[in-house]
Structure 1
Amino acid sequence: MAEHHVLGLSGGKDSAALAVFMRQHYPDLNIRYFFTDTGKELPEVYDFLGRLEGFLGRPIEYLNPHRDFDFWLRQYGHFLPSAQTRWCTRQLKLLPFKHWIRPLLQAGDIVNSYVAIRADEDHRDGMVAQHDNLVVKFPFRDHGVDRLGVLEILEASGLGLPKYYDWRSRSGCTFCFFQQKVEWVKLKRIHPEAFEEAKAYEKSAIEHGSPFTWSHRESLTELEKPERMAEIEADFEIRKQRELARRKPNPLRPVSCDPVEIDDLYYEEEGGGACLVCHK
């Protein structure tokens, strides 16, 4: 019976910090790093994964090279994924991982999967192992690493945060339905071609009878009107300043080390949240 160690990367900060953490604290483990590629990632994600790969000194295995978002969109009759019907996570993230480790489990081997749920995320459970030989581990919980700990790990490693964190709170598809409206506005400003592609998907979905739009109760055509974009950005800035004023200073951790994240400010009816396997 062989034993394997795998660590999934989303392109986000938590899983990247976990990879750094494991490399530094458990250098003797032969960890296989993998990334399930939807085919619709931000260019900043690929850039960050390339830099992370250089730090780790090991290749990152890219899964799902042939059945991308467009393939599964056709299979689902051009209906958009949504918080109610998350076929994108199921088909583009979970299924490729299960196919990847299936031969190992069938051979009777043990697969240890390391997941980047932090010590300050008691509300998250992570993936439930559906095989006796699949062991899900949470090193950050075991070692008490919280959100600021993640930022410190990335800063100390020289990697820092992925560039998209300047304007967005999540990795995953460019048109993730969990985005807040201000993130859609930023997508239009920074990657207008990706925004136009999302509009085209939305238009096709509506024509095929899909009940969902990407953004809650508002099409991207409505959202991109200049006056609406200005309204969304102004509202977000008010919420950001309110959150900054609410925070109590911590002499051990300056405010500058704990930036306000977009997910700290969401309205439940507007967005926020994420599929764990995409977001971490």
Structure 2
Amino acid sequence: MLGKTIERQNPDRPFRQYLENYCGVLPDARTRWCTRKLKIEPFERFVGQDLVYNYIAIRADESQRKGYISTKPNIKAKYPFIEDGITKADVMRILEESGIGLPKYYEWRSRSGCYFCFFQQRIEWIGLYKRHPEKFQQAMEMEKEDPVTGERFTWVPGESLRELIRPERIQQIEANFQKKLLVMNKSVPNMPLSKVFALDVSCDEGDEPCLICQL
């Protein structure tokens, strides 16, 4: 539409190859090697020494965040939403007025991104299982247990995806989510589902999903 060619970076080195390089150790909120290897390093390598303005979609109502800021002096961060005072409500309005609307996955996910993102909540994993079982199966196949140490590498802390989809566990997760949804709606009527998800992210303080994966 803009007459610009999109150049894909790192197309020949998929996630699974890096997973093998890391001996099956899945990325998590602390290491985030997927962000570094699949996003940041290819981007900075492509940019080289050219002067580049990196437009970061942090909104005015989340200006306390900074997102990805390169250590390379030739990559300059720009925050157009903050500069123009655009909030989440404005983003929603722009999407609706333009006819684009929200992607369908916002019916059950709080953000875009990889289908196996470790920042997903359990209720979102259940959503993936019910809507895209083939993707859930692929994510489940990446989990493993070290036969020597017994250490488990799972997407969800302390629980494998196979354990997550036991019928009684699904019922428990969905019931807990409905309780939280009820509490949220009592405190803030008609709260959007994406906002409920955002208030329920079970990460340690300071952990945030990849900026590129958030609206």
Fold conserved between structures, TM > 0.5: yes
Distance in 2, Cα, partners of 1:208 & 1:147: 48
Distance 1:142 1:150 in 2: 14
Q: TM-score, normalised by structure 1?
A: 0.69
Cα distance in 2 for residues equivalent to 1:57 and 1:237? 46
**Partners in 1 of 2:5 and 2:186 — Cα distance?**
43
CA RMSD of aligned residues (A): 2.2
Residue 133 of structure 1: aligned partner: 74
Q: Does 1:84 align with 2:30?
A: yes
CA shift for structure 1 position 131: 2.3
- Give the equivalent residue in structure 1 for 2:166: 225
Which amino acid letter does the alignment assign opposite residue 264 of structure 1?
L
User: How far apart are residue 265 of structure 1 and its match?
Assistant: 2.8
CA contact (8 A) 2:108 2:127 kept: yes
**One-letter code aligned to 2:199:** D
Q: Quick check: 1:118–1:147 contact (8 Å CA) kept in 2?
A: yes
* Partner Cα distance (1:137, 1:216) in 2: 35
Partner of residue 27, structure 1: none
TM normalised by structure 2 equals: 0.88
Q: Give the partner amino acid of 1:138.
A: Y
Aligned to 2:56: 115
Say if 1:214 and 1:220, in contact at 8 Å, map to a contact too: yes
Look up the SS of the partner of 2:70 in the other structure: coil
Which letter maps to 1:145?
I
Deviation for aligned residue 1:208: 7.8
The equivalent of 2:132 in structure 1 is: 191
Structure 2 contact 63–82 (Cα < 8 Å) conserved? no
Give structure 2 stretches of 5+ with no counterpart. none
Q: Superposition pairs for residues 42-53 of structure 1, below 5 Å?
A: none
Matches of 1:158 and 1:57, distance apart in 2: 21
Could you tell me which runs of 5 or more consecutive residues in structure 1 were left unpaired when the two chains were aligned: 1-53, 249-254
Identity %: 44
- After TM superposition, the structure 1 stretch with the greater mean CA deviation from structure 2, 170-179 or 123-132, is 123-132
Which residue of the other structure, out of 35, 40, 65, is the alignment partner of 1:94? 40
164, 168, 175: which one pairs with 2:116? 175
Give yes or no for the alignment of 1:63 onto 2:4: no
- Name the aligned partner's letter for residue 99 of structure 1: R
State the match for 1:278 in structure 2. Answer: 213
Q: Distance in 2 between matches of 1:65 and 1:231?
A: 40
CA contact (8 A) 2:24 2:153 kept: no
Contact 1:263–1:273 under 8 Å retained in 2: no
Q: Is the 8 A contact 2:56 2:78 kept in 1?
A: yes
Counterpart code for 1:279 = Q
Aligned partner of 1:154 in structure 2 is 95
Higher RCO (CA-CA < 8 Å; seq separation 6+): 1
Q: 8 Å contact 1:111–1:133 — kept in the other structure?
A: yes
Q: Mean Cα displacement is larger for which, 213-222 or 136-145?
A: 213-222
Matched, 1:166 2:166: no
Look up the equivalent residue of 1:259 and give its one-letter code. P
Residue identity opposite 2:58 in structure 1: I
Aligned length: 210
